[in-house]
């Protein structure tokens, strides 16, 4: 241990105290031992530093900072260098504010597009998520600021996020839900990893020894600090055993007594606590220096980085008749409230208080452009006959109509899942009516995730900005007028309808149990193998120029395979292409996706320029996770190496033969199941085969004895808990300008307070809510009113 001497001087109670935060954002300091405190802040897309007067859920206004595009956008850039640059800029702002750790990046897999928080994540593909996450981490950590890679792991839904149990088979866990984290940990070397709220196969992530000690620490070699997501600590003793070091926020000693008792009775070895303290001290002493480094940054320079990032991340989905870029001499009708007030970021813990915002209209005003503006719809996404009539009139009298539409805030947020893939009906109507009035209609989208586009055939072009950050308005204009050539590509498959997704039925219907029945067949891994038509495939995106792929060469090296390919910009203007490398196993035996992404490179080329690029593929690029040997194995045989412009636009391919090691083991287990043919939807019995165990049927609900692990929402048959609900509703109603479930911030804090195990309210409130209070409440909910009330009113 690095700090053995210091640790020996510390009393058990002080060591235990260090392992729980001082408040919402700081660790504890101990003057006597010379241990300073460090401060952390969200988040992935910019800094959300809150001052002393922060509210309990920590969602109120923070200090001004640059709001960079969200991960749904930057993921679509496929640009490692860009992610590094954003990371560096955020680190500079952290240095300026004296923040030691930035809580990000979030690299969870976009398993189902209804996940309310997909906008904070990069991809449906673990290779892409891991690579981009690693680049962001490097950018931040190289400046001497820590990161927190989150949310570890299998955290793929927001509804019931505090208690849901992700039931995943081992192979799927390794290949889909852990692989990105593995890359980000090994390549990025984050200072901390944040464990998720949910359970995996029955065990909360905070307590999950298999996940944290065995996989993260022993197998991947992570020696940094594991911090809980805010309020995610379940069982502190199990968590020490698992190797979870820091509970955030601090719970004002909620667990202290039971930990000390456990050490005294021999149920927990003090060594476990010492290990955590050592890791924490290493982190604190490394990062505390941040406060002494006086660093300033230039908000305008960072705004320009945000603008470049947004422009390089947007995806051009359609461009019939080369209607884009726009011509400045055209008479343009700009339609849609979002042109006046763009949606540039998502709601929740990643919400930034931006240094400035440029809307599309301002960006148009800064150019010599003839345009007229029509609202088309209301801020909430609805519309009226009058607004539509004005928009139609405007579209008719213009050469071209550019409609700004997408998802309004309540449609996607941290804290709750989406109800539908549809855009607000008002937006769909606006697009449809404008397209009828003017055949030259262009749609610009602001949305953090997949949406359905029922009007796609009626419009000439679609430019998807995702959530582009504070400079999104300028970036949209840069792209529309051709100052920047679009180069983003989708990191998620756009299905034709929601029902086409393999997890469609199970996703929102499992209550506390999230069965990952589709196994490894997530996103394009499912769509490409099942051959189902899609609206837009994974990796898709257009440009104003064209690219040629040629001269694929594959060379076997001793351990690896080198793949070389040339790419040429064959069009008239400069542009960038995302070259994607997919690997397909051509052998029978183990069931595999039709192809899997194993390399990508974003190449910038002037008109007529060409470049030769090279990929190195190691064993893992060809391997599957074998549940029998509990290791990665390469099956002997032929592999098709494919170079493409999307998962469904393969330009070049070549077969290589590899010496494998292991005979296929898993195929016989899936005989006759969904995984063999991918027809229809996977059934529970199919899933049980790959899971290797039966899933207990849910028992009919009967009145049970409540515990500290139940949440207020689930205890609503108790009048005390109904009153509690109302009290919380009232309280947040005051903070958020009224009880309004169409306000995403209000809806989120309500969910956070009433869907979390009641004991975790002690942490979620930063220690304001005491253990005896929640214990008293539970006693009352169980019918022991007087006893409970007495306990509640107990003095500290």
Q: Say whether 229 is catalytic.
A: yes
Q: How many CB atoms lie within 10 A of CB 650?
A: 17
**For ligand BGC, the closer CB: 230 or 706:** 230
Residue 302: in which H helix or E strand, if any?
helix 299-313
Residues 567, 570, 573, 577, Cα dihedral to 10°? -30
**For ligand BGC, the closer CB: 230 or 516:** 230
- In the block, tokens 């793949």 appear at 563
Q: Hey, which residues between 473 and 532 contact ligand BGC (CB under 6 A)?
A: none
Determine if 418 is a binding residue for ligand BGC (CB under 6 A): no
**For ligand BGC, the closer CB: 159 or 229:** 229
403 SS3 class? strand
Q: Hey, which residues between 13 and 52 contact ligand BGC (CB under 6 A)?
A: 42-43
Catalytic pick among 229, 256, 274, 278: 229
Determine if 230 is a binding residue for ligand BGC (CB under 6 A): yes
CA-CA distance, 210 to 7, in Å (whole number)? 27
Cβ proximity of 625 and 634 under 8 Å: no
Phi, psi of 308 (to 5 degrees): -65, -45
Which of 97, 159, 229, 594 is close enough to bind ligand BGC by CB under 6 A? Answer: 229
**For ligand BGC, the closer CB: 229 or 596:** 229
Closest separation between CB of residue 60 and ligand BGC, Å? 12
Phi-psi region of 783 (alpha: psi -120 to 50; beta: other; left: phi over 0): left
Question: By rule CB under 6 A, what string of x and - marks binding of each residue 184-223 to ligand BGC?
Answer: ----------------------------------------
Task: Count interface residues toward ligand BGC (CB under 6 A).
Answer: 8
Cβ proximity of 255 and 236 under 8 Å: yes
Closest separation between CB of residue 150 and ligand BGC, Å? 5
Q: 515 forms bridges with which residues in the sheet?
A: 167
Closest separation between CB of residue 117 and ligand BGC, Å? 8
Strands (E), 425-511: 441-446, 461-464, 494-495
Tokens in use for 49? 């530093």
Q: 353 forms bridges with which residues in the sheet?
A: 64
CA-CA distance, 486 to 478, in Å (whole number)? 9
Closest separation between CB of residue 247 and ligand BGC, Å? 13
Closest separation between CB of residue 616 and ligand BGC, Å? 33
Rg of the chain in Å (alpha carbons): 26
CA-CA distance, 304 to 474, in Å (whole number)? 10
**For ligand BGC, the closer CB: 415 or 486:** 415
461 CB-side CA count, 13 A: 27
CA-CA distance, 445 to 403, in Å (whole number)? 8
CA-CA distance, 579 to 565, in Å (whole number)? 9
Which of 66, 70, 108, 349 is close enough to bind ligand BGC by CB under 6 A? Answer: 349
Closest separation between CB of residue 349 and ligand BGC, Å? 4
Closest separation between CB of residue 230 and ligand BGC, Å? 4
Contacts (Cβ under 8 Å, ≥6 apart) of 294: none
CA-CA distance, 294 to 552, in Å (whole number)? 51
Which of 47, 103, 173, 691 is close enough to bind ligand BGC by CB under 6 A? Answer: 103
DSSP annotation string for 620-667: GGT-EEETTTTEEE--SEEEEEEEEEETTEEEEEEEEEE-------SG
Determine if 58 is a binding residue for ligand BGC (CB under 6 A): yes
Determine if 346 is a binding residue for ligand BGC (CB under 6 A): no
Which of 84, 111, 150, 427 is close enough to bind ligand BGC by CB under 6 A? Answer: 150
**For ligand BGC, the closer CB: 230 or 255:** 230
Closest separation between CB of residue 303 and ligand BGC, Å? 24
Tokens in use for 454? 């029922």
Listed residue (372, 322, 354, 381) closest to 472, CA to CA: 354
**For ligand BGC, the closer CB: 229 or 256:** 229
Residues 429, 433, 436, 442, Cα dihedral to 10°? -80
Please report which residue ranges of 463-574 form alpha helices under DSSP H.
Answer: 472-480, 504-507, 524-530
Determine if 417 is a binding residue for ligand BGC (CB under 6 A): no
Q: 600 forms bridges with which residues in the sheet?
A: 580
**For ligand BGC, the closer CB: 197 or 254:** 197
**For ligand BGC, the closer CB: 349 or 503:** 349
DSSP annotation string for 263-294: HHTTSS-HHHHHHHHHHHHHHHHHHGGGGG--
- Residue environment code for 47-81, b if the CB has 16+ CB neighbours within 10 A, otherwise e: bbbbeeebbbbbbbebbbbbbbbbbbbbbbbbbbe
**For ligand BGC, the closer CB: 41 or 77:** 41
**For ligand BGC, the closer CB: 103 or 443:** 103
Contact footprint for ligand BGC (CB under 6 A): 42-43, 58, 103, 150, 229-230, 349
Active site residues: 229
């Amino acid at each position: 241990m690095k700090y053995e001497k210091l640790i020996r001087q510390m009393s058990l109670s002080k060591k235990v105290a260090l392992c729980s935060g001082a408040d919402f954002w700081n660790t504890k300091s101990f003057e006597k031992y010379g241990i300073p405190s460090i401060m952390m802040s969200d988040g992935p897309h910019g800094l959300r530093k809150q001052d002393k007067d922060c509210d309990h859920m920590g969602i109120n206004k923070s200090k001004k900072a640059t709001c960079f595009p969200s991960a749904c956008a930057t993921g679509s850039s496929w640009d490692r260098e860009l992610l590094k640059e954003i990371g560096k800029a955020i680190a500079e702002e952290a240095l300026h504010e004296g923040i030691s750790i930035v809580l990000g990046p979030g690299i969870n897999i976009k398993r189902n597009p209804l996940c309310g928080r997909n906008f904070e994540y990069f991809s449906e593909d673990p290779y892409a998520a891991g690579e981009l996450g690693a680049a962001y981490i490097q950018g931040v950590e190289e400046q001497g600021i820590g990161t927190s890679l989150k949310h570890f792991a299998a955290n793929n839904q927001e509804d019931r996020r505090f208690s849901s149990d992700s039931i995943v088979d081992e192979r799927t866990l390794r290949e889909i839900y852990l692989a990105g984290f593995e890359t980000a940990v090994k390549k990025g070397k984050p200072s901390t990893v944040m464990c998720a709220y949910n359970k995996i196969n029955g065990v909360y992530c905070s307590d999950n020894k298999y996940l944290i000690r065995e996989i993260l620490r022993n197998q991947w070699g992570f020696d940094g600090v594991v911090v809980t997501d805010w309020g995610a600590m379940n069982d502190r003793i199990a968590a020490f055993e698992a190797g979870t070091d820091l509970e955030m926020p601090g719970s004002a000693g909620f667990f202290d007594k039971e930990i000390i008792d456990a050490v005294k009775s021999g149920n927990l070895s003090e060594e476990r606590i010492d290990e955590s303290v050592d890791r924490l001290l290493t982190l604190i002493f490394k990062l505390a220096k941040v406060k002494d480094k006086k660093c300033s940054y230039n908000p305008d320079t960072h705004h320009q980085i945000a603008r470049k990032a947004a422009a390089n991340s947007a995806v051009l989905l359609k461009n019939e008749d080369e209607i884009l870029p726009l011509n400045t001499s055209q008479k343009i009708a700009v339609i849609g409230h979002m042109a006046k007030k763009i949606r540039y970021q998502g709601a929740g813990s990643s919400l930034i208080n931006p240094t400035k915002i440029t809307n599309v209209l301002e960006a148009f005003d800064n150019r010599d452009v003839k345009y007229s503006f029509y609202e088309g719809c209301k801020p909430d996404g609805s519309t009226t006959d009058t607004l539509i009539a004005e928009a139609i009139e405007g579209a008719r009298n213009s050469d071209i109509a550019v409609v700004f539409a997408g998802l309004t805030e309540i449609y996607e947020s941290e804290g709750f899942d989406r109800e539908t893939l549809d855009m607000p009906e008002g937006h769909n109507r606006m697009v449809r009516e404008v397209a009828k009035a003017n055949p030259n209609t262009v749609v610009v989208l602001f949305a953090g995730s997949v949406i359905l586009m029922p009007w796609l055939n009626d419009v000439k072009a679609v430019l998807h900005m995702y959530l582009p950050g504070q400079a999104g308005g300028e970036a949209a204009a840069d792209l529309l007028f051709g100052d920047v050539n679009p180069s983003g590509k989708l990191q998620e498959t756009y299905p034709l309808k929601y029902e086409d997704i393999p997890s469609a039925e199970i996703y929102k219907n499992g209550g506390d149990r999230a069965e990952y029945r589709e196994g490894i067949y997530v996103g394009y891994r499912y769509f490409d193998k099942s051959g189902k038509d899609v609206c837009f495939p994974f990796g898709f995106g257009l440009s104003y120029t064209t690219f040629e792929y040629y001269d694929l060469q594959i060379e076997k090296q001793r351990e690896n395979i080198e793949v070389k390919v040339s790419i040429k910009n064959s069009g008239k203007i400069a542009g960038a292409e995302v070259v994607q490398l997919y690997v397909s196993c051509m052998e029978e035996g183990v069931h595999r996706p039709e192809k899997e992404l194993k390399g990508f490179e974003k190449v910038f080329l002037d008109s007529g320029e060409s470049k030769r690029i090279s990929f190195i593929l190691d064993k893992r690029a060809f391997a599957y996770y074998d549940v029998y040997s509990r290791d990665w194995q390469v099956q002997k045989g032929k592999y098709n190496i494919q170079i493409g412009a999307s998962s469904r636009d393969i330009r070049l391919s070549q077969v290589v033969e590899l010496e494998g090691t292991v005979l296929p083991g898993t195929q016989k287990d899936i005989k006759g199941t969904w995984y063999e043919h991918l027809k229809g939807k996977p059934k529970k019995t199919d899933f049980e085969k790959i899971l290797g165990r039966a899933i207990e049927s849910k028992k009919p609900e009967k009145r049970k004895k409540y515990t500290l692990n139940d949440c207020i929402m689930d205890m609503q048959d108790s009048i005390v808990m109904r009153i509690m609900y109302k009290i919380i509703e009232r309280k947040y109603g005051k903070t958020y300008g009224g009880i309004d479930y169409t306000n995403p911030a209000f809806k989120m804090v309500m969910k956070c307070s009433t869907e979390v195990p009641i004991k975790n309210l002690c942490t979620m409130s930063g220690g304001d809510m005491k253990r005896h209070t929640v214990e008293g409440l539970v006693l009352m909910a169980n019918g022991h009113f007087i006893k409970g009330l007495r306990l509640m009113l107990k003095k500290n």
